[in-house]
A and B are shown apart, each in its own frame.
Chain A
Amino acid sequence: MDQQQTESLEERQERFCHTDLQQPLIKLLFEFQLPVPNNTPDE
């Protein structure tokens, strides 16, 4: 998951190089980002 946070567009394209980005599921996965966890400390 750390990799995802620091991944450049080029690196992501390289990771998806065996897939067809026109396929709806692949397009969604290519653009998907996990929500950033809320690390706000408790009061």
Chain B
Amino acid sequence: MTLSATSLVNRSLELVSPPSTYTRLDTLIQDPDSAIDDFASVINTDPALATRLLKIVNSPFYGFPSQINTISRAITIIGTRELNHLVLATSVMNAFSGIPSTLINMDSFWQHSLACAMTARQLANACGQRGTERLFTAGLLHNIGSLVMYQSLPELAREAISSARFGNETIFQAEQRIIGFDHSEVGEALALAWRLPESLVDTIRHHHYPAEAKTAALDVAIVHVADVMVSAVPFGHAGDAHVPPLDPNAWQLLGLDLNIVPQILTQISLQLDSLTATMLKT
């Protein structure tokens, strides 16, 4: 049987369980009768998760003037949607913690992803978007398909990384040639299996080809541009040290002035080490 992105994900789901707390909280967010205590109860059933979340909301990234000691207080201050996106982010980072360092430097992978997340959120803010926490999550998870490949197809993934590094191919071209599909297709299949929001699925699938976006063209364009920006500095890398090609129409769609780019990158550089340390060590 020919291996496909979907069959690879189905085979990998035993290793990478769905982010169940995120799903339960998302259901509560849709329920108009839910209360803060309901959210807190769900999170507190996982003490390790609750501890990680409190460390993040008390980090310099948020910069709140006083200590936040309870999940209920955290929800009051940052809101249910923001907190649930943090739940998803920390759950995913935790789920893929077992990938060998001989294949990829995971700290560097997550540094790239976090930089993309922060940049995507700042670009979204500059575009006047609301609910920009979803762009943080989209930036963080845009390469999640790579992690499934590293975990379940390590030798082929290593060959693709090596080919992209020493040949004339991008990483997604090398994956297509060597494996038959690329990390964006695997990411889409995983996001669908986990029942993540449609805009997130679209962003993960089309972040290298934003013109093919189906339901969230601006979100996809923002993450595409953010990925190019943070690859250019570079802030970490996700298996390919090259800057991916830019679709100029994606940048046009954002409608931003170029002057904002150095401002955002400089600001990210001041916050990234602290956020990476907090997210990776919690």
Chain A interface residues (CB < 8 Å from chain B): 1, 3-4, 14-20, 23-26, 28-30, 32, 34-35
Given contacts A3-B234, A23-B251, A26-B246, 14 further A-B contacts (CB under 8 A): A1-B233, A1-B235, A4-B233, A4-B234, A15-B241, A16-B232, A17-B242, A18-B245, A23-B246, A25-B225, A25-B251, A25-B261, A29-B228, A32-B261
B residues near A35, Cβ cutoff 8 Å = 266
A residues near B170, Cβ cutoff 8 Å = 18
Cβ contact within 8 Å between A30 and B246: no
Cβ contact within 8 Å between A34 and B266: yes
Option from A4, A19, A29 in Cβ contact (under 8 Å) with B261: A29
Cα A23 to Cα B225 in complex, Å, equals 13
Option from B243, B251, B265 in Cβ contact (under 8 Å) with A16: B243
B19 at the interface (CB under 8 A from A): no
| B232, B242, B246, B248 pick with most chain A CB within 10 angstroms | B232
Option from B225, B232, B248 in Cβ contact (under 8 Å) with A32: B232
A residues near B233, Cβ cutoff 8 Å = 1, 4, 29, 32, 34
